[in-house]
Amino acid sequence: MVYKRKFFLGMILTFLILSGATTVSARAADAFEYDKGAMYSSSDYYSIAQTLASTYPELLHLEVIGYSHDSKPIYAMLMTANVKEAMVRDDFNLYRQHYYVEAGTHSRETVNTPLLMKAIEDYAKDYYEDSYIPEFDLSAELSQAVIHFIPLVNPDGFDLVKFGASSVKTAEGRKLLLGMSARDYTDLKANIAGVDLNRNYPDEYYDPITMKWIDKFQRYPGEVPRNDVSYNYDAGPYGGSEPETKAVMRYVQRYDFRNFISFHSRGKFIDCGKYWFGVDYNKRSLDLAAALQAVNGYRVESYSSGLESGFFSDYAAAQTLKPVVTIETTLGAMPTDQSLYQEAYTENGLLPLYAVRHGRETGYFKYRLYVDGFYIRDFSDYVYAKAHADKLEGAVIVADAGVPEMMLSQALAGGDLSVGSSRELSDIQKHWAEATIERLIHIGAIDGYQDGTFRPDNTITRAEFLKLACRSAAACAKTAVIVTAESVKNHWASGIFEAAEEQGTLKSGEISEATWNEPITRYEMARILIRLSENTLNEPEVDTTGIESTMSDHDQVIQSEGDAYYVEQAYGKGLVTGMDESGTFAGDLTGTRAQAAAMVLALVDVTARKTSLNGI
């Protein structure tokens, strides 16, 4: 019965393709019936994509970006005004802003492919009938943006869930299927080779302390088994081993995407947390998630333990440092019943447009990467931009505001600043904290002394530490440390102290002015850091059960009742690791300027946490 329906659907789609080859100027007939979307195969959806592209040729471009193990097409649909003319431009990467939307990575999550197809068709209709989607004027939106839809990343698995082994078309596909331990495919997540594609992406992050890229592919596999080549959790032999994953990776590299949406099921929540990419990155992802939550009402999951690897979201974040959110649609069993399709679309159909609006409001970032004279993408963080540039031949970083130029020569002619390295401080080269200090320079937290030194091994005063910590946290949270000219009285840091008291970083009179120029103790450092973590960066309190095992002098710390909470939280959040291998805190000791910089960097950049920081 299923195949009779498929034959009938195929005949309809063929007719639509043949009859839809002319440009529309008003609302066209639906390319498919969304309320019957559960019936369609991957082939049917590809035919629907062809129909849409031929019906709206000035708006949609269909491109096959790869093939699955079973030789089924993986395709992208680019949507923008006058798409053919736009795509042949040399400056297409900057002519309009680019946005990425994908679905269908996990086989059993069948509702999201039709959701994107309906969104594509509805957006096309509104392009001609502005009233079709009252919330947006697609003609205006698509004159500024390019939305890239990848509706079905895993066509082999999609068909196996719906139609079983008879959906396999090639000898290679049948051979791979025999190697999979599962025989009931209705709960399948993996591709036809038994690999969970959302654990198969290369996974690395840049560590600003060691100045190295850290490969964490399957170093943090989570708590579920990964060695069963079956249908759920196998990550594959190496990152990027699968043809579906490779196709997506190549596509991510091609364009300067402003943000990414990956549709999955189930749970009705938005996941946006990325443990390894720093507080600034996570705040920007949370901002995007909040904008989308205002539309679909889903809860937001912003916490990330860092104990998983190989996700698409990790790969896209590492390559671009742009916000990536995962939308988990529906609450029902999978494959999703047709009765839930309309609810899923009502809640999520407009999310790509809201992501476009959010990206446009965010704009471009300061550090722009050029390779062989052509613009590639921008970064919010200099150190991360430099880490990418160091991987590439002919790479240059340019610093400026506004929309970047496509050509490096134009950017430099316009007065943009080419930056090959940070502003040099004469005494930090080859110091263990060099990369840490450079990172803080580029977020505007450190100036150094007027003689061009940083004096990393000098002790740091209370005033110096407070300024460093508050400026760093404020830069990360994109807030301001309010210091007025009137407040700078008898001491250069008087305004900093007043602002810190107003913002809850210090209690009134907690540090007397007579001691501002004296070295700060490690107890005081911990107190300031944790208050900034909680009040400025809005980080929750962490569970410190068992923390005494990481701190050899914990019995002394708890005797300092006013400081014990802050020290335990500092260890629990990874802001400090101790002065030696046994984790001695030594709270009464003073710290050096380099050690203080490492603590503060850990506060504002999660990638620097839970790392050996030379005994801090």
pLDDT per residue as tens digits for the range 387-405 = 999 999 889 999 899 999 9
Residues contacting residue 15 through CB under 8 Å, at least 6 positions apart: none
Residue 592: exposure state from Cβ atoms within 10 A (0-12, 13-18, ≥19): middle
Residues contacting residue 541 through CB under 8 Å, at least 6 positions apart: 534, 569
Residue 26 pLDDT greater than 50, yes or no: no
Tokens for 600, please give them.
């503060």
Per-residue model confidence (pLDDT) at position 486: 47
Residue 422 pLDDT greater than 50, yes or no: no
Strand order in the sheet with 324-329: 60-67, 73-79, 145-150, 97-102, 257-265, 324-329, 269-271, 299-301
The sign of the CA dihedral 302, 307, 308, 313 is positive
Residue 219: exposure state from Cβ atoms within 10 A (0-12, 13-18, ≥19): exposed
How many whole angstroms separate alpha carbon 412 and alpha carbon 183? 60
Residue 22 pLDDT greater than 50, yes or no: no
The sign of the CA dihedral 251, 104, 21, 56 is negative
Angle between helices 462-477 and 278-296 (to 10 degrees): 40
Lowest mean pLDDT among 2-11, 379-388, 504-513: 2-11
Task: State the average pLDDT over residues 461-472.
Answer: 92
pLDDT classification of 33: cutoffs 50, 70, 90: confident
Task: State the average pLDDT over residues 568-597.
Answer: 90
Task: Give residue-wise pLDDT tens across range 100-144.
Answer: 999 999 999 999 999 999 999 999 999 988 878 999 999 999 999
Residue 615 Ramachandran class (φ > 0 left, ψ -120 to 50 alpha, else beta): left
Mean pLDDT, the chain, rounded, equals 88
Ramachandran angles phi, psi of 426, nearest 5°:
-70, -20
More confident residue, 128 or 485: 128
Contact 295, 416 (CB under 8 A): no
Residues contacting residue 457 through CB under 8 Å, at least 6 positions apart: 592, 593, 594
Which helix (H) or strand (E) is 248 found in, with range?
helix 243-254
Lowest mean pLDDT among 131-140, 173-182, 412-421, 526-535: 412-421
Which superfamily does CATH assign the domain made up of 2-362 to? Zn peptidases (3.40.630.10)
pLDDT classification of 24: cutoffs 50, 70, 90: very low
Task: Give residue-wise pLDDT tens across range 306-334.
Answer: 888 999 999 999 999 999 999 999 998 99
Residue 394: exposure state from Cβ atoms within 10 A (0-12, 13-18, ≥19): exposed
Q: How many CB atoms lie within 10 A of CB 488?
A: 14
Task: Give residue-wise pLDDT tens across range 35-72.
Answer: 999 999 999 999 999 999 999 999 999 999 999 999 99
More confident residue, 421 or 81: 81
Contact 157, 189 (CB under 8 A): yes
Domain residue ranges of the chain, discontinuous segments joined by +: 2-362, 367-417, 434-608
Task: State the average pLDDT over residues 223-247.
Answer: 78
Task: State the average pLDDT over residues 443-451.
Answer: 75
State the amino acid at position 18 in one-letter form: L
Entry pTM:
0.79
pLDDT classification of 484: cutoffs 50, 70, 90: very low
Which helix (H) or strand (E) is 399 found in, with range?
strand 395-399
Residue 452 pLDDT greater than 90, yes or no: no
Per-residue model confidence (pLDDT) at position 616: 54
> Which percentage of the chain shows pLDDT scores above 90?
63
Lowest mean pLDDT among 23-32, 151-160, 258-267, 416-425: 23-32
Per-residue model confidence (pLDDT) at position 538: 87
pLDDT classification of 481: cutoffs 50, 70, 90: low
Tokens for 427, please give them.
């005494």
